[in-house]
Amino acid sequence: MRDHYTITELTREFDISTRTIRFYEDEGLISPIRRGRTRLFRQSDRQLLKMILRGKRLGFSIAEIREIMGMYRTPPGEAGQLRAIIRRVAEKRAELEQKRRDIDDLLSELDQAEEACLTRMAELGISPTS
């Protein structure tokens, strides 16, 4: 394990832009060491970046990620953080399940509309491929 990483190394490792890393820095989610204009990221910054990106993939907002990360540093600590994550995951799961139901309903409506069109075209003697 290394002591420090450059912004370029992290962008390559996580396949993100330097702008993304700077945004997370501006949001106070990571705090690299500065040596002149150079940013040096500690192993802890790398882990935080990994957690931030995982949170984004799970659909959490920056505010939600900040809240969860803040819990780790202050009471209720890791236990509170884990409970918050479980609660947020359940909320995201419910949102996604609702979206899946909505998509299934829309697909069903599209199938019905297509079937009605095909039926009417057959009644009129129209080929569906012309």
CATH number at residue 22: 1.10.1660.10
How far apart (Å, rounded) are the C-alpha atoms in residues 115 and 108?
Answer: 10
Confidence band of 26 (pLDDT split at 50, 70, 90): very high
- Domains contained in the chain, number: 1
Average pLDDT of the segment spanning 48-65: 91
Whether the pLDDT of residue 78 is over 90: the answer is no
Flag whether 4 is in a domain.
Answer: yes
Position 50 scores a pLDDT of 93
Q: Is 106 helix (H, G, I), strand (E, B) or coil?
A: helix
Whether the pLDDT of residue 67 is over 90: the answer is no
Q: What is the CA radius of gyration of the chain?
A: 24
pTM, two decimal places: 0.66
Position 128 scores a pLDDT of 87
Handedness of CA 7, 9, 34, 26 (dihedral sign): positive
Position 58 scores a pLDDT of 86
Flag whether 56 is in a domain.
Answer: yes
Name the region of 63 (left: φ>0; alpha: ψ -120 to 50; beta: rest): alpha
Burial class (CB in 10 A: 0-12, 13-18, 19+), 86: exposed
Flag whether 13 is in a domain.
Answer: yes
| Domain range enclosing 2 | 1-60
Flag whether 41 is in a domain.
Answer: yes
